[in-house]
Each structure stands twice: as C-alpha cells, then as structure tokens.
Amino acid sequence: MPDYQAPLRDLRFVMDELLDYPAHYARLPGGEEASPDVVAAILEEGARFAREVLLPLNQSGDQEGCLLEGGEVKAPKGFKAAYAQYVEGGWPSLAADPAHGGQGLPPSLAMVLNEMVCATNLAWGMYPGLSHGAADALRHHGTDEQQATYLTKLVEGTWTGTMCLTEPHCGTDLGLIKTRAVPTDDGAFEITGTKIFISAGEHDMAENIVHLVLAKLPDAPEGSKGISLFVVPKFLPNEAGEPGERNGVVCGSLEHKMGIHGNATCVMNFDGAKGFLVGAPNKGLACMFTMMNAARIGVGIQGLGLTEASFQNALAYARDRLQMRALAGPKAPEKPADPIIVHPDVRRMLLTQKAFAEGGRMLVLYTAQMIDVVEHGQDAAEREQAETLLGLLTPIVKAFLTEVGFEATNEGVQVFGGHGFIQEWGMEQLVRDARITRLYEGTTGIQALDLLGRKVLMSQGESLKVFTKQIHKFCQAEEGNTELAEFVRPLAKLNAEWGELTMGIGMKAMNDREEVGAASVDYLMYSGYATLAYLFARAAKQAQTTLVEGTDDAAFYRAKLNTARFFYQRLLPRTRAHKQAIEAGAESLMALSSEDFGRGFEL
C-alpha cells in the first residue's frame, strides 16, 4: 500500500517564510484566531487524519467501488465511518462563517487541509468536496430562509451538496440544457430532467443531499441567458429543519469509470422534484459560477495532492530498489547493485515530480491568500486587486496543476518500472485518479479559453499586467543580487516576453478570432511555467537569505535552491516550445476540412 507523510516542513516554509502567512492572517478580521500555534495544531491533526484514517481506505475503496441498489448508493467500506470522524472533528466548518455555525478561520487554512485529503484519498474527498461550493452559492445568493434551512447543515457537514450541471447532450455549453422548472401554486417549482456525471449525487454518508440544479423556466430566453438555479434536496426538510419526505430525485445509474472508483458518479433523474429558486430567474449561471470557481481551485489542489503522493512513493522506491551500477562507478559497493536513485534519468523523473509538487504548493497558497483577501479584506483597493489576480490565476491553478499532476503520476509509475503497472503498489491508481482532474469542472481547453479570451484579452491585458508588474518589481529589486542572477535574469526576460506574446495574439485575433483558440492551451501552459518561475525565484531568494544568516536546517534550504535550479534549467525551457506553437498561429489547425481528417481509412 502507498504511504504518505504530509509535507509539513515545506508547508511551513511556504506559509511562514515565503508568503508570511502570520502577518497575512493578522490583517484579516478574526485572523488573530489563526495564530501560529493554532495553525500548527490544525496542520498536524489534519495530517494525522489523512494518513491514519483516509489513506488505508484508498486502495480498498478503489477496488470495491460503490454499490447501487434500488436507487440507494452505498459507499465503500469505511467511508461512512471516516466521514463521521471528519464531521465530529469539525473539519467541514473550519473556514465557514460563525453566523452559520462555522469556526471563522481563513479559507486558505481549509485549502491546506484539502491537499492532504486529495493526496491520501481523492475519491473520499469528493463527498464533502462540493459541499463547500454549495454553501458558498447559498451564502451569496440564497434567501434568508434558504440559508437558515440548508446552510448550517452544510457547514456542520451533516448534509452534503452537489452541483448538477451536465446533461447527456451538453457539458460546457450549458445553454443547451433541457431540464425544466415549472412553477407550482406554493411558490416552489417542479424540476424534471436528467443530469449526468454528478459527483456524490447519491450516497449513504450523510443525512441529506442538497442538489443545486440548473434548469430553465417555461418562459426562459434561449441559450445561457435563460438558465436558473434551484436547490433540490434529496429529502424535503420538515418544520423542524430535519429530513422529511423523500423528494422526486433518484440515482438512475452509476458510471463505470477509469478512476475515482470510491466516489459515486451518478446519473440523477429529477421527476417533478420539488425545487426552490436560488437568486433571480434566468440568472442561475452567475450564481453557479460562485460554486464553479471554488470547485476549479479545488480540482487544482487535487492535481497537487496526487503529485505529492506519487513523488513520495516513487522516492521511497528509488532509494530501496537495486538495479545496475552508477555510470561513474559503484555508489553502494557493499550491495549487489546500486539503488536506482543514483541514475540520472530516475533523478530527472523524481525532480520533475518534486518541482511540480513544491511549485504547485506555492501557487495554491499564493492563490489562497487572494481568496482570503477577497472574502475578508478590509481595504477596497486591496480586495479589487486580489479579485483580479484570483480571476487570472484560477484557470492556471485548475488546468496547469492538473496537466503537470497527470505527468507527475505517470512519472511515478515509470520510476517503479513494471511494478508501477501492478495494482498492489498503488501507483497506477494515482494515474487513473489524476486523469479526471483534466476534465471535470471545465477541461484544460475550456480553462485556457477562459484565461486567454475572458481574463486577458477581454480586459485588454490589464489583469495580466497586475501580475506581471509584481514580477517586474521583484526582478528590479533583485537586479543587483549576483547570487540570484541565474533566476532573476531569465525571469525578467520571460516576464517581458509574456506581455509581448499576449499582444501578438491579440493583434492576430483582431483579424481572425480562431487565433485565440489556436493559441489558448499553449498560452495557459506558458503562463503556468512563468508563474512557477516567479514563485521559485522568490523561494530561491528566501533560501539563499536563510543560508547566509545561518540555520540548523541548511540541508532543507540547499535542496530548495537545487529544486529551483532544476526547474529553471530543465522544465522552464518548455516555454520555448509553447511560444513557437503559439506563434505558428491557426493556419495549420484550420486548413484541413472535417472530411480530410479521415483520408486514408474510409471504407
């Protein structure tokens, strides 16, 4: 069975030294509750829960899967008991508003815990995962009555939430949905339709399930402008606010999937189910985006967690597995062969995983600070800037961290060789589980269009400038630091090129809108590498400063510098290929007719 140790030392480096979380929390209202001692205790207890409770259920949950009988779903053995411990420990309410029963701690703290959950049992983590997004949607858009009925239950974790968007004939293009909402005499609505790919749509782990459903009213405008949002509980709450009559929503079937077998991915049938309008009529998509944006960050964290899990187990195997001798001569002459960690190519794979894990952690925690400020910041200008940065970084977190997460889990299998392909080692499960992260909550292609089309070009590049100005100021401040030149000089050049590349795409798009779609994925990946380059440069500076000042943990800081160096020398050059592909434009992509794609194999 794979093992896992929460990377608490690296978390402390990023939170306390690199991003100065103690000062960040001190500026937030109520942030004094997140004292260093409290944060340390939460991280340590979260690490214990993840390793001792969730990790042992990961492989068994994958092998057992979920069982559907008579419209009721049973989660794998141990999942329900683990969830009860999770609720009893107060984890669902960690960052929720005290007005709704929450503990009022910063959202970023819950995101740190989320990495540990994703690293140890992604399928289990998806049961409570969407509850936070459902609670956010109701907190921002629900009526007082809806908040009183559903929000406290979601916050305490006794009820869980879902997000019901996708239908058999439409995924991203939600304007095509067919689910209908017909008004009734009592002010409610009858919801009828079918939703697919609904994570945790039905299970036996909570008392009730609160579905947030997109549907169209009878007089709704065509397309996405005619979508409304409804709350549709599995059990209708009674006068006491407890689960009462069963609603007209059932699980029709479970999907048979490549991975995340322990999570119930459901086809949900709504047959005149009683629902209640959330927000204004025909404004449901805007309400749902509150939930979707949180979910996209959450999926990026899934990519990070799986990267860390794969790296840790590949590293342990590489230290133990004996194969051949080092090319420069025996490294372990007392043994019949050297451990494979001495071989350069194995080191390349391990360092790739390590760099993506550490870089991804910096990106998530940097983004998490933006979420804290948007939610709780007192200064209007600071909140506005944080919201701009969050909008820019969200598609990068979601898509880049899941793309490189899939790469990292593949490298983990490769380090194990043939053993990685065998189920008992658990490495192939990480690959299967990682594959979905590039798809749900918006594919990489959709995130790329969001980044380049909506966030960058539609703002005339202003959102990008907010971030690149930060990078520019860092490079200016460190221009005379010769010890940091290997990072600062290429970063400054890359930062300037990022703006030029963006302008070039924008100019081409004025004549041909297809240029945006042609460039988008390469642009997103370029942006991801550039963002990690900035964060690694800052980490290198912090490590360098600490080593000069003197420390008892010099090995940690030397490793941090070497990992940053590896990223710059071996991974950052990938931006060259992305730049060249972007500049090639749309012509070769669009030249082939749809008929010509099949030339050579038609019957």
Amino acid code (one letter) for 33 = E
SS (H, E, C) 283-330: CHHHHHHHHHHHHHHHHHHHHHHHHHHHHHHHHHHHHHCECCCCCCCC
Nearest alpha carbon to residue 353 among 422, 423, 427, 419: 427
CA 511 to chain centre: 35
Q: Which of the following is catalytic: 167, 308, 411, 441?
A: 441
Nearest alpha carbon to residue 22 among 14, 34, 11: 34
Nearest alpha carbon to residue 449 among 505, 496, 384: 505
Whether the Cβ atoms of residue 498 and residue 529 lie closer than 8 Å to each other: no
HSE at residue 593, side-chain half, CA atoms within 13 A, is 3
Beta-ladder partners of 67: 74
> Is residue 262 helix, strand or coil?
coil
What's the maximum distance between 2 C-alpha atoms anywhere in the chain? 84
Alpha helices, DSSP H, located in 417-553: 427-435, 444-449, 462-477, 485-511, 514-549
Whether the Cβ atoms of residue 390 and residue 289 lie closer than 8 Å to each other: no
Dig out the tokens for 534 from the structure.
């900035």
Task: Determine the Cα–Cα distance for residues 92 and 96; give it in Å rounded to an integer.
Answer: 8
Dig out the tokens for 460 from the structure.
């005339």
HSE at residue 113, side-chain half, CA atoms within 13 A, is 28
Dig out the tokens for 259 from the structure.
């991975």
Task: Determine the Cα–Cα distance for residues 321 and 481; give it in Å rounded to an integer.
Answer: 41
Q: Is 375 a catalytic residue?
A: no
Query: How many CB atoms neighbour CB 507 within 10 A?
Result: 10
Query: How many CB atoms neighbour CB 273 within 10 A?
Result: 27
> Is residue 363 helix, strand or coil?
helix
Residue where the block lists tokens 């970023």: 108
Catalytic residue numbers read 441
